[in-house]
Structure 1
Amino acid sequence: MRQSCILAALLVSSGACLAQSSVELYGIADLGLRATSGLSAKNTPATPGTATAVSSGVDNTSRWGFKGQESLGGGWKALFRLEGGINADTGTSAKSDRMFDRLAWAGLDSPYGTLALGRQTNLLSDALIPVDPLGKRDASFNPNINIAGLSNTAFGTHAFGRQYGPSGYADNFYRLDNTVKYTGNLGPWQARAAYSFGEVPGDAAASSSHGVALAYQRPDWTVSGATTQFRSREGMPLDAWTIGAALKQGAWQFKANAARNVAVTGTDKSVHQRVLSAGLSRALGQSLLVTTAWYAVRREATGLPDDGFDRGFLFVEETLAPRTTAYLEADYTVWRGDAAGLTASRPNDRHGTGLTLGLMQKF
């Protein structure tokens, strides 16, 4: 009830502000009918068998938000953005404890760059935008988002089991609270730097994060990378980096990326993760786009067998209108080591397949 009241107030206030400044309500509603074998409804390993579900956000994460800007003169602008995830299949918020779990920041844009303060994506995520083979589609199942970008490190026996940086969640550090981020552009170069305050009394380093990112962008090719260090509340480090490239040739586009992170999880204990990925996409005519991608994830943890998985994707997207896209998605996963795990003492299927027919609408 409280969130509904806040939402109503925001909608009313946005209508009043629209006449005075540039304020926009926007979002995505993405729903699909998904059939799986050897996977649960949350795309985790499952015992052999098939299942069918209505899934939200397979192509692009369902979300809603507000963004706005106001000119301050002399090339300066004030900016803000508030964005929350939606489970469109159930109508619930992606995070029950936050209305704007994805983004909540305000900042200044100037001839010298953009400075933003608040809850923002980490620099690994920013670096992946132009070079992820899937174009950051299928966020809940995309290894570059989950492993390279650190949005979900909880699966299997190799879970980190704690929070690094001020994300607010254990095993998810894709977005960080209390973040100051600077973005500057100079010709084809784009540089970013960010610091996230842990806000732990008496220990400035605890639960903090800092990093840098650099990209070189040309019309037909891009190179993009980032490195970031996160700290747990106990001061244990998580070091991560990612680097990738994209090349466009006519209707074809090739993308590849490599990423690695190492987390100290206890005394003489650590978890190492690495992701290699590559993909190819081709535009067919004015409205059809076909994208294929492959990801290899390998993990090592102190005292445990190595594990990981290989995962392939196929996306076929048809643009029906400027804001409406129909899509067909297929995926295939092979679990390595003991990554498949057990369900009620029964071994899970070592192979998982999924097929989704969906519709995405933007507003």
Structure 2
Amino acid sequence: MQFSNYAICRKIHPTTTSLAKKANTHQGDNVRHSCALTALLALSGNCLAQSSVDLYGIVDVALRGSSGLAAGNSPAPAGHTAAVSSGIDNTSRWGLKGREALGNGWAAQFRLEGGINADAGTQAKSDRLFDRQAWAGIETPYGALAAGRQTNLISDALIPVDPLGKRYAAFNPNINVAGLSNTAFGTHAFGRQYGPSGYADNFYRLDNTVKYTANAGPLLARAAWSFGEVPGDTSASSSHGAALAYQRPEWTVSGAVEQFRSREDLVLNAWTLGAAVRAGAWQFKANIARNKAGTGPDKTVRQRVLSAGVSRQLMPDLLLTTAWYRVRRVATGFQDDGFDRAFLFLEKTLAPRTTAYAEADHTLWHGDAAGRSGSQPNARHGTGLTLGLMQKF
């Protein structure tokens, strides 16, 4: 949905109205009338291209049944759970984005985006209206510069190479563990905030971030700095990093490195590297990611994620995607743990903006990763089945 300011158009092109009036007073002169209408449409079209604001979003709702998993997919004692879930194929969200041409290849732009719990009609983050993105920036012939709340560079690098295509964000290990969206699972966690994310154990999106993006043919480069804004200490709660991708129609390689610091100047270092290859109707993706966080004096948490997957276009409107993830964690003072998780997605395109899908997943917990619910141990296996509908606007 697009909104344009016609009043601005009239100011930019004051001759438009006079041309239309002149044409109306000479209705017998078909040539002049046609010229006036042509000029009107051309000038208005140019103006519409100058400035625009778009309202967009995704509503994804599904019926889900699971065993050994709670409604929010945390480990649970053996037993079945039925739920209405949001954002399984793609995160439910809404947003506004705008762009205004400044001339000579320059443009101003902005984006505001918030997550939605479509099953309950609530904000994904109750303390933030635009928890996903909130930034403004300048696009130039030499690259784009944006400032505000933005995704970290590890997340950006995963976009083309995540085996699931970043589906099921709340349950996707590349988003949660590699991308640092939800590092807490099992019996322990990082337990603090690294970088200016605003949350403990979630550093996928960062406040106060300046990000530069440049394209040079098949090369895509990014660099970012997130200000911690701690008085007297410019490194505390800050983050910085770089990402590089080489993209061709048949294959892509993408990677990033980033460092995050806590308010106490404890360091979290993370990196990711992956590749995607397309062969006809088949697409193969694989990625490796690691991170290591200092959590206290002589204490660390180390995590690694290996992932691989295959997608097959069965028919023009039917896509099958399979993916496997292996997560392992080593933490000072705790037993080594982790989990293996497999997915299958079948998506049917019903219309350009509407997709129906079926999903299945299976998780095997290792070590103490399953944890306990009160005095009862959680199941070591978790299985889920989903039927859902996603609509974009």
Q: TM-score range with shorter-chain normalisation?
A: over 0.9
With over 3 angstroms needed to count, the CA separation of the structure-2 counterparts of 1:17 and 1:97, relative to structure 1, is farther
Give the structure 2 partner of residue 326 of structure 1.
356
SS at match of 2:175: helix
- Equivalent residue letter for 2:94: W
Q: Distance in 2 between matches of 1:230 and 1:341?
A: 28
- 1:65 matched to 2:107? The reply is no
Match of 2:86 in 1: 56
Contact 2:143 2:212 in 1 (8 A): yes
In 1, Cα distance between the equivalents of 2:7 and 2:87?
32
Note if contact 1:165-1:208 (Cα within 8 Å) is conserved in structure 2. Answer: yes
8 A Cα contact 1:158 1:299, kept in partner? no
Give the direction of change, closer, same or farther, for the CA distance of 1:286–1:16 in structure 2 (3 Å limit): closer
Listed one character per residue, the Cα deviations across residues 161-210 of structure 1 (whole Å, up to 9, x for unaligned) are 00000000000000000000000011110100000000000100000000
Q: 2:66 maps to which residue?
A: 36
Structure 1 residue identity aligned to 2:257: T
In the other structure, the counterpart of 1:143 is 173
Tell me which of 221, 242, 263 is aligned to 2:272.
242
Specify the alignment match of 1:292 in structure 2.
322
Does the residue aligned with 2:234 lie in a helix, a strand or coil? coil
Q: Distance in 2 between matches of 1:79 and 1:17?
A: 16
Kept in 2: contact 1:76–1:111 (CA 8 A): yes
1:58-137 alignment runs, 5 A limit: 58-137=88-167
* Code of the aligned partner of 1:78: A
Deviation at 1:157, TM superposition (A): 2.4
- Of 131, 143, 158, 2:188 maps to 158
Contact 1:67 1:80 in 2 (8 A): yes
CA deviation profile, 1:82-138 (whole Å, cap 9, x unmatched): 000000000000000000000000001111000000000000000000000000000
Is contact 1:308–1:337 with CA below 8 Å preserved after alignment? Answer: yes
Cα distance in 1 for residues equivalent to 2:54 and 2:354: 19
Q: Distance in 2 between matches of 1:357 and 1:182?
A: 39
Alignment of 1:207-218 (within 5 A): 207-218=237-248
- Taking the aligned partners of 2:277 and 2:310, their CA distance within structure 1 comes to 10
State the identity as a percent. 75
1:315 to 341, 345, 352: 345
Correspondence for 1:340: 370
Alignment-mate amino acid for residue 36 of structure 1: S
Cα shift at 1:345 = 1.0
Which has more helix, going by share of residues? Answer: 2
2:313 aligned with 1:283, yes or no?
yes
Alignment of 1:177-192 (within 5 A): 177-192=207-222
8 Å CA contact 2:178, 2:272 repeated in 1: yes
Q: Which runs of 4+ in 1 moved over 2 A?
A: 14-21
Compare CA radii of gyration and give the structure with the larger one: 2
TM-score of the pair, normalised by structure 1: 0.95
Q: Provide the C-alpha distance between the structure 2 equivalents of 1:157 and 1:224, rounded to a whole number of angstroms.
A: 32
1:19 to partner: Cα distance: 7.3
Given that residues 221 and 242 in structure 2 are in contact (C-alpha distance below 8 angstroms), is that contact kept between their aligned partners in structure 1? yes
Checking the alignment, whether the CA contact within 8 Å between 1:197 and 1:207 is kept in structure 2 is yes
Partner of 1:193: 223
- The separation in 2 between residues aligned to 1:19 and 1:355, in whole angstroms, is 52
**Mapped contact 1:122–1:176 kept (Cα < 8 A):** yes
Secondary structure (helix, strand or coil) at the match of 1:86 reads strand
Equivalent pair of 1:295/1:311 in contact (CA under 8 Å): yes
Q: Which amino acid aligns with 1:58?
A: I
Q: What's the secondary structure of 1:219's corresponding residue?
A: coil
- Structure 2-normalised TM-score? 0.88
**Structure with the bigger percentage of strand:** 1
Q: Give the match's secondary structure for 1:173.
A: coil
Q: Would the aligned equivalents of 1:65 and 1:82 in 2 still touch at CA under 8 Å?
A: yes
SS at match of 1:304: coil
